[in-house]
Amino acid sequence: MISIKPFACCRLFCAMNLMSMAALLLVSPHVTARVIDNTSETIGSGNSEDRYQLQNGATLTAIDARTFDIRVRSGPTLTLDRSHVTGDGFDDGVGVSGGTANITASQINGGTNATGLSAGDGPDGTTSSKVTVLDSTITGGRNGGLVNGRSQLNLERSSLAGTNPEGAGLLMSSGNATASSSSITGGKNGVWIAVNPGISAPSTLILDNQSSVIGQNGSAILVDGFNVSTPSANIEVRNKSTLEGSNGTLLEVNGGGSANLLVSNSSLVGNVIVEAGSVGTVQLENAATLTGRLDNLEQLTINSDATWVMVGDGDIARLSMDGGAIKLGER
């Protein structure tokens, strides 16, 4: 153990409840929705506002349209272009379950107790979703976005926000998310990565091209195993992207969770806090800078002109350096 000292179950219930509700909403029929089943339809500004459920290979294209919540399940494709989607109450704005969604220059609002955009596996448990969002704004009364299972969410020049004081900008349970020139903001934590008992694959989060994650009343990123499982998270912060937590924590790992943070060509200010029984690693490369405290870290790697600026005490089990540096900063 390297000890560097340069200076003298409620959560589980909430997370499982949120993900269970989202999964139920994704796959259950909506009694008031217009069902598009294995056919194609295009709507625009002249159409009345409706709820939609797409299923069995259906296609819906919305151009300059306004709709209520949309559900995509079992193979359909949804295209939104310059459109506005609004969910109400417990209704997600757009819920994709085993389908594809391409969203451009649109606004999606989830209900006051729901998520703006959800992407999860299909009802058969094997078909994943792929959602691509360009130049769009997504908000949810609870969480901005949800990705679980083996599904993929891609954000480019877009914003994702959860407005509830206990909500997240993005809730992940396995699944993959990438953000380029985009922002993710949560009322509490920016990104919350939680346990998915049914899938052993890690969650992967990539922030690129000046993307940002902000936790308005907590950490930028929280990884939590709730002491019942070991969620694994691979997190990359690249090319001038940033993390910001109101509590000063960039990455918090609790409850037996495991997280690997890679920082490349970015400057971060804040702490990495790993609870006893959890595992965290940090790798700095390509002139990256991290200024802050590293608490109970399993591995720190500093390569290729990267720098860790120590603020306060550091607790690191293993340290590896190849062209990097460690400097002392102010408390």
pLDDT tens per residue, range 110-168: 999 999 999 999 988 778 999 999 999 999 999 999 999 999 999 999 999 999 999 99
The reported pTM is 0.91
* Mean pLDDT computed over 176-193: 99
Tell me, what's the pLDDT at 275?
96
According to DSSP, the residues that pair with 107 across neighbouring strands are: 84, 137
Query: What percent of the chain shows pLDDT beyond 70?
Result: 90
Tokens 């599904």 -> residue:
151
Give the C-alpha separation, 76 to 86, whole Å: 20
- What pLDDT score does 197 carry? 73
Q: Are 157 and 135 in contact (CB under 8 A)?
A: yes
Lowest mean pLDDT, pick from 42-51, 67-76, 195-204, 238-247: 195-204
79 contacts: CB under 8 Å, gap ≥ 6:
59, 60, 61, 62, 101, 102, 103
* pLDDT for 200: 76
Distant-in-sequence, close-in-space partners of 20: CB < 8 Å, separation ≥ 6: none
Banded model confidence at residue 19, pLDDT cuts 50, 70, 90:
low
Give the chain's mean pLDDT: 91
Residue 331, pLDDT score: 56
Distance of alpha carbon 52 from alpha carbon 151, whole angstroms: 21
Do strands 314-322 and 2-4 pair parallel, antiparallel, or not at all (unpaired)?
A: antiparallel
With a cut of 60, say whether residue 46 has pLDDT above it.
Answer: yes
215-244: per-residue pLDDT in tens?
A: 999 999 999 988 877 779 999 999 999 999
What is the band of 314 on the pLDDT scale with cuts at 50, 70, 90?
Answer: confident
Scan for tokens 């999860």, then name that residue. 120
Arithmetic mean of pLDDT, 293-297: 97
pLDDT at 80 exceeding the cut of 60: yes
Q: What is the pLDDT of residue 15?
A: 53
Residue 140 backbone class (left: φ over 0; alpha: ψ -120 to 50; beta: rest): beta
- Contact of 291 with 268, CB cutoff 8 Å: yes
Q: Is the pLDDT of residue 85 over 90?
A: yes
Give the Cα separation of 327 and 312 in Å (integer).
Answer: 12
Please tell me the predicted confidence (pLDDT) of residue 20. Answer: 44
Q: In Å, what is the CA distance from 96 to each residue of 20, 33, 118, 179, 214?
A: 15, 15, 6, 18, 25
CA angle in degrees (0–180, nearest 5) for 272-199-234: 30
